[in-house]
Amino acid sequence: MINDLWYKNAVIYCLSVETFQDSNGDGVGDFPGLMRRLDYLHGMGIDAIWLMPFQASPGKDDGYDISNYYDIDPRFGTLGDFVEFTHAAKQRGIRVLIDIVVNHTSDQHPWFQSARSDPNSPYRDWYVWSKTKPKDADQGMVFPGVQESTWTLDEKAGEYYFHRFYKFQPDLNTANPEVQAEILKIMGFWIQLGVNGFRMDAVPFVIADKGADEQKPQQQYDLLRWFRAFLQWRKGDAVILAEANVPPKQNLQYFGDDGDRMHMMFNFQVNQTLFYALASADTKPLIKALDETRARPDTAQWGTFLRNHDELDLGRLTEAQRKLVFDHFGPDPDMQLYERGIRRRLAPMLGGDRRRLELAYSLMLSMPGTPVLRYGDEIGMGDDLSLPERNGARTPMQWSDEPQGGFSRSDKTVLPVISEGPYGFAHVNVASQRRDPNSFLNWTERMIRMRREAPEIGWGAYAVVETGEKGVLAMRYDWRNNSVLLLHNLCDYPHKIALDLKMGEIGLRLIDIADGGHSQAEDDGRHHILLEPYGYRWYRVGGLDYILRRTEI
């Protein structure tokens, strides 16, 4: 086993350059601004940044509609600024992952413009066409309620083109070898500019057979191996983190049986059941999801997360489970989106309750995998549901109580800064939380440090320890003769639990690594631990001499 696969025990922070820090007063975040905030990120202890798309784009889907893969949106700076940024990140030991959006382009991309204008265009076959409207054109929309079709007539081409997402996002014909070669070229370009890998957008669609006659499109998994092989050749420590919200039994196809495809995948199954667990205080579906996603090649890793820039997609829960999560965390129709999700930020979903926020984060940090945090969640930012669709949870970072939350000098910002109510920047901002030792920001920092010092979670194997309470999750991770035990009480009432670690002498002593409350097993050999409502514990099994006991293999 290679010891230094950095992504196995890391913390990733995702942000959009557009809403992080504006440096030139035009109301839009930019790379020079982001650079000025690198020390903040460094101080938080993160290992890598994942940047949402920042390439040239008409911006109709927040940059997920790219019109030039080889340049950046001029509002964010220049390619020169970008390279300064990747260099500055590297100096601080922070790796940079960027979104790679190659399932589709913008309809304004010159390739599409050429393809639609001329049947003999070299780019015609880069897209997916049909002379007649396919029968299933009103099926398979990713944005139901907003998107009407997956095939739209292009007047100029005189044919229908396929688009899995919005109609301004024509799908690339990824079966075309020229398109495949171009995807590698795009990766190669950004690697050369200093990035350490990619969050690959919409992977199941990228590798799916596309076309009007496809009844049951198959996935061409080999493509994933080629992407990886190319990347590994160009830059050894670069990774691909796949966005693939697929049923658990397909996961191994994405990782590859030999770990020869995607390095990382977001664990959507655990994400959804985790929210269900928080809403219902029933850990069983979460334990099942953990079990279903347990198998993975040694070199592969899950990306675990709570919220991201999209809606909280609850599409894999049962109807009854989804309803319960809606009732608890997004009861108004306006809080819901695309018939399957919630478009709020984490803090308002949890009623701004510090205990529940800590529980949610502690739980997420203790899931098998590498945590991916979302900008603003470290200070408990809120949302602005007056903004359309997913934009409500994409408002600018709140740095201080100065105008525009310190995000920009401009009167008008790209999306409004949240200025009113309990989540307004006067109340929720980095500067004031920085000064308060008990703030959520400082708590998050400590948790990140603790998580990184518990490589058992990233590298090790876990077992669920029986507590007899479905409202309590107890997980033990083992790695190299070291173990940690993590307890979470999801209930709004206390629980006294009895635990038998069955580890012999060493298991009789638990050292609390977050707080002072250690535990010594009683005469019956069991630990009797009182967990307060929404309480959690991070224990080292044995003593703090674990480092001395750690083995090399």
| Shortest distance (Å) from residue 166 CB to ligand GLC | 8
Q: Judged by CB, which is closer to ligand GLC: 201, or 445? A: 201
Label residues 110-129 b or e (16+ Cβ within 10 Å = b).
ebbbebbeeeebebbebbbb
Q: Is residue 202 close enough to count as binding ligand GLC by CB under 6 A?
A: yes
Helical spans, DSSP H, in 150-207: 177-192, 203-206
101, 278, 367, 418: which one contacts ligand GLC (CB under 6 A)? 101
Assess 305 for contact with ligand GLC (CB under 6 A).
no
H runs (alpha helix) in 202-317: 203-206, 222-234, 251-255, 268-280, 284-292
At residue 306, what is the residue type?
L
**CA 79-303-229 angle, 5° bins:** 60
Q: Can 469 be counted among the known catalytic residues?
A: no
Which candidate in 62, 243, 378, 383 is catalytic?
243
Question: Which residues lie below 8 Å from residue 24, measured CB to CB, with a gap of 6+?
Answer: 30, 32, 33
| DSSP code at position 170 | P
201 binds ligand GLC (CB under 6 A): yes
Compare residues 210 and 540 and give the one whose CB is closer to ligand GLC: 210
Judge contact between 452 and 458, C-beta under 8 A. Answer: no
Q: Tell the smallest beta-carbon distance from residue 59 to ligand GLC (Å).
A: 12
Query: Which residue number, 147 or 433, has a Cβ lying nearer to ligand GLC?
Result: 147
Site string for ligand GLC, 206-245 (x = CB under 6 A): -------------------------------------x--
Q: How far apart are CA 411 and CA 26, in angstroms?
A: 9
User: Does residue 266 touch ligand GLC according to CB under 6 A?
Assistant: no
Nearest distance from residue 85's CB to ligand GLC, in Å? 22
Q: Does 310 bind ligand GLC (CB under 6 A)?
A: yes
Number of C-beta neighbours around residue 19 at 10 A? 25
State yes or no: residue 54 binds ligand GLC (CB under 6 A): no
- Residues in contact with ligand GLC, counted by CB under 6 A, come to a total of 9
Number of C-beta neighbours around residue 2 at 10 A? 7
- Name the active-site residue from 171, 201, 311, 456: 201
Q: Which residue is nearest to ligand GLC (CB)?
A: 64
CA distance 387 to 391: 6
Task: Pick between residue 303 and residue 406 the one whose CB is nearest to ligand GLC.
Answer: 303
259 contacts: CB under 8 Å, gap ≥ 6: 296, 297, 298, 299, 300
165 binding ligand GLC? (CB under 6 A)? yes
Nearer to ligand GLC, 243 or 384 (CB): 243
CB of 310 to ligand GLC, least distance (A): 5
Minimum distance between the CB of residue 409 and ligand GLC, rounded to whole angstroms?
A: 29
The encoded tokens of residue 410 equal 């401009």
Of positions 20, 31, 64, 539, contacts ligand GLC by CB under 6 A? 64
Sequence-distant (6+) residues with CB within 8 A of 420 are none
Q: Is 201 a residue of the active site?
A: yes
Cα angle 126, 129, 130 (rounded to 5 degrees) comes to 165
Quick one: 20 or 165, whose CB is closer to ligand GLC? Answer: 165
Question: What is the distance of C-alpha 67 from the center of its chain?
Answer: 24
Is the Cβ of residue 81 or residue 171 nearer to ligand GLC in the bound state?
Answer: 171
353's enclosing H/E stretch is none
CB of 125 to ligand GLC, least distance (A): 22
Retrieve residue 273's tokens: 């059941």
Provide the binding-site residues for ligand GLC, judged by CB under 6 A. 61, 64, 101, 165, 201-202, 243, 309-310
What residues are annotated to the active site?
201, 243
